Structures are given as structure tokens and as C-alpha cells.
Amino acid sequence: MASIQLENVSVSFPVYNAATRSIKNRIIQSATGGQIRADTTSQRISVVQALQDITLTLGEGDRLGLIGHNGAGKTTLLRVLGGIYEPNSGRISVKGLTVPLFDISLGMDQESTGYENIILRGLFLGLTRREIKARMEEIADFTELGDFLDLPIRTYSAGMQMRLAFAVSTSVVPDILLLDEGIGAGDAAFMHKARERLARFTEKVSIIVLSSHSDDLVRSMCSKAILMEHGQIVHAGPTDEVLERYREMRGF
Ligand SMILES: Nc1ncnc2c1ncn2[C@@H]1O[C@H](COP(=O)(O)OP(=O)(O)OP(=O)(O)O)[C@@H](O)[C@H]1O
């Protein structure tokens, strides 16, 4: 059974050679972003607190929307769930095959061919070589990249790389799907095909977490949501209730 459990998870980023003099001994909080504070050990280091004390439990059938201002911590939270970032503190347990459909070039190598990258990205996502080989032909067909699959992917355009990564990432139905609102640089025909594939696929996924600035998208995909502000969860509940709270906060 797929599940996600986060207990008091915090993530901070040290920023070296930052102009910390202006933020000596105080915490800066602007309208956007996490919190910036000076590091206690060095004048030359600032710390951006991207997530602070996040506690969250998700199980079978949950569709969660992440809502909040620029820099609120939505992408950082997705990256923590995808195992891309380790929390600095707190406990995390993610059970089930997890596929991030953002940071789509992770696990790919620019010098390797399209075919080799299908294997690399597949292994990165936790598939076995046998599972990848069994799907190779279907993945290659879906990309429509033809003979380009024999060339190193540094010769591809951004949209061609996206086609490849998307085709591999959606070749197996995961237990947990992590989504960012934009899946990138595809052309209109591919985006249409990608959306259809995604719609078929999302029905079967056990848990979905979607980060989005689009109220309509969150409403159409998610039954519940959390509102994030400066790295913290400030409201959690049914999607409509959380969107309403966000509207009130923004004052429109
Ligand atoms: N690698 C990094 N180094 C330093 N700070 C970072 C890094 N990644 C993220 N941050 C900071 O963490 C905070 C949260 O960023 P995050 O990308 O999670 O926000 P977000 O809610 O996804 O924003 P947006 O809606 O703009 O995409 C921001 O203040 C950002 O500056």
C-alpha cells in the first residue's frame, strides 16, 4: 500500500558568499520566498529556510494540491517526496514506486544516446532493466524521435529531451505521482498526446501530489490541498476551502 508520512520535516539551503551583513541577527521575510537568516557560524553564509516543520500523512486514493505564493516551498516539498532532497531534520517515509514528472532531465546523461537514456532514466525511477527492456519499443514509438534515438541527447532540442523523459516516466503506472503544473517544452501535437496519456495514467495512480498556481487545475485533479506560506503549512483541508482561504489571503 502506497503511503507518505512526513513528521516535522525541515529543509534549508546554505548560501555561500552572500551579503549577510544586511541581515545580521535577524530573519528576513519578504512577500515571496522562504525565510532568509544569517548563519550563526559564519558571516559569509546566509541560510534560506525553504521548508519548516512540515507534517503530512497521505494514503491510498489521496490527491493533494500544493498551493502558495512564489517561493512558498511547493517544489522543495515535491523534491523531498521524490527523494531528490534530504530533509535537514524531521522524519520521512515514502512507500511505493514514486515518479516525479518534474526535473525531468534528472537521471539522464547528455553524452549517452536516446536509447541509453531510456535505460538510465528508467533505472533512476526505480525500474529494473528487464522492465525497461520490455517497454523499450513502446517508449521509443511514443517519443516519435526515430533515428535520433541513436544519437547523444546533447544533440536534442529541449522539447525532444522532454519527449524522451516523459515517455519513460509514464511507461509504468507508479504508486505515487509527483506533478508540477507545466510538463515543459513539447510542441502542441505532443502536448495533446502527453495530456491524454497522463489522464489515462493518473486514474490508476494511488497517490498524486500536484503543485500548481492554477485554481482550475487543482480543483479538477485534487480532493484536498495544503496552503503553504514561507515554507510552512498554514491551512489544510478540502480543495475548495483551501483555495478560498488563499483568495482571502491575497485579497482578491
Ligand atoms: N538550491 C537552492 N538554493 C537556495 N535556495 C533555494 C534553493 N532551492 C529553493 N530555494 C529557496 O527555497 C524557497 C522555496 O522555493 P521553492 O522552489 O520550493 O518554491 P515554490 O513554492 O515552488 O515557488 P514557485 O511557485 O515560484 O515555483 C525559496 O525561497 C527559494 O529561494
What is the rounded distance in angstroms from the CA atom of residue 82 to the CA atom of residue 54? 15
What is the rounded distance in angstroms from the CA atom of residue 148 to the CA atom of residue 115? 9
Q: Is the pLDDT of residue 230 over 80?
A: yes
Q: Check residue 102 and give its pLDDT.
A: 81
Query: Are 181 and 215 spatial neighbours (Cβ–Cβ below 8 Å)?
Result: no
Q: Which atom of ligand 1 is nearest to the CA of 11?
A: 12
143-195 pLDDT per residue, tens: 999 999 999 999 999 889 989 988 998 888 899 999 887 665 567 777 788 88
Query: 32 versus 208: which is more confidently predicted?
Result: 208
Q: Range with the lowest mean pLDDT among 26-30, 101-105, 156-160, 175-179?
A: 26-30
Q: Check residue 7 and give its pLDDT.
A: 98
Q: Which atom of ligand 1 is nearest to the CA of 35?
A: 29
Ligand 1 contacts CB of residue 51 (under 6 A):
no
Identify the bridge partners of residue 136 per DSSP, sorted by sequence position. Answer: none
- In the chain, what are the domain boundaries? 3-96+210-250, 114-174+186-192
**pLDDT (average), residues 18-38:** 62
Q: Is the pLDDT of residue 25 over 60?
A: no
Q: Range with the lowest mean pLDDT among 38-42, 102-106, 157-161?
A: 38-42
CA of 171 to the centre of ligand 1 (A): 29
What is the rounded distance in angstroms from the CA atom of residue 108 to the CA atom of residue 153? 9
Ligand 1 contacts CB of residue 41 (under 6 A):
no
**Nearest of 213, 185, 196 to residue 102 by alpha carbon:** 185
ipTM of the complex: 0.97
**pLDDT (average), residues 122-131:** 89
Q: Range with the lowest mean pLDDT among 47-56, 92-101, 195-204, 205-214?
A: 195-204
In this structure, are strands 98-100 and 176-180 parallel, antiparallel, or unpaired?
parallel
Residue with cell 537521471: 107
Residue-wise DSSP of 4-17: EEEEEEEEEEEEET
Q: Nearest residue CA, atom 1 of ligand 1?
A: 13
Q: Which atom of ligand 1 is nearest to the CA of 15?
A: 4
Ligand 1 contacts CB of residue 72 (under 6 A):
yes
**pLDDT (average), residues 38-62:** 86
Ligand 1 contacts CB of residue 15 (under 6 A):
yes
To test ligand 1's pocket by mutation, which of 17, 35, 75 has the most ligand atoms within 8 angstroms of CB? Answer: 75
Q: Check residue 196 and give its pLDDT.
A: 83
Q: Check residue 114 and give its pLDDT.
A: 96
Query: Are 4 and 207 spatial neighbours (Cβ–Cβ below 8 Å)?
Result: yes
**pLDDT (average), residues 95-118:** 89
Q: Check residue 125 and give its pLDDT.
A: 84
CA of 13 to the centre of ligand 1 (A): 9
CA of 181 to the centre of ligand 1 (A): 16
SS (H, E, C) 16-30: ECCCHHHHCCCCECC
Torsion of CA 82, 84, 88, 92, to 10 degrees: 20
Dig out the grid coordinates for 177 from the structure: 505521482
Q: Check residue 43 and give its pLDDT.
A: 65
Where b means 16+ CB within 10 Å and e means fewer, 43-53 reads eeebbbbbbbe
At the fourth CATH level, the homologous superfamily of domain 3-96+210-250 is P-loop containing nucleotide triphosphate hydrolases (3.40.50.300)
Identify the bridge partners of residue 152 per DSSP, sorted by sequence position. Answer: 113
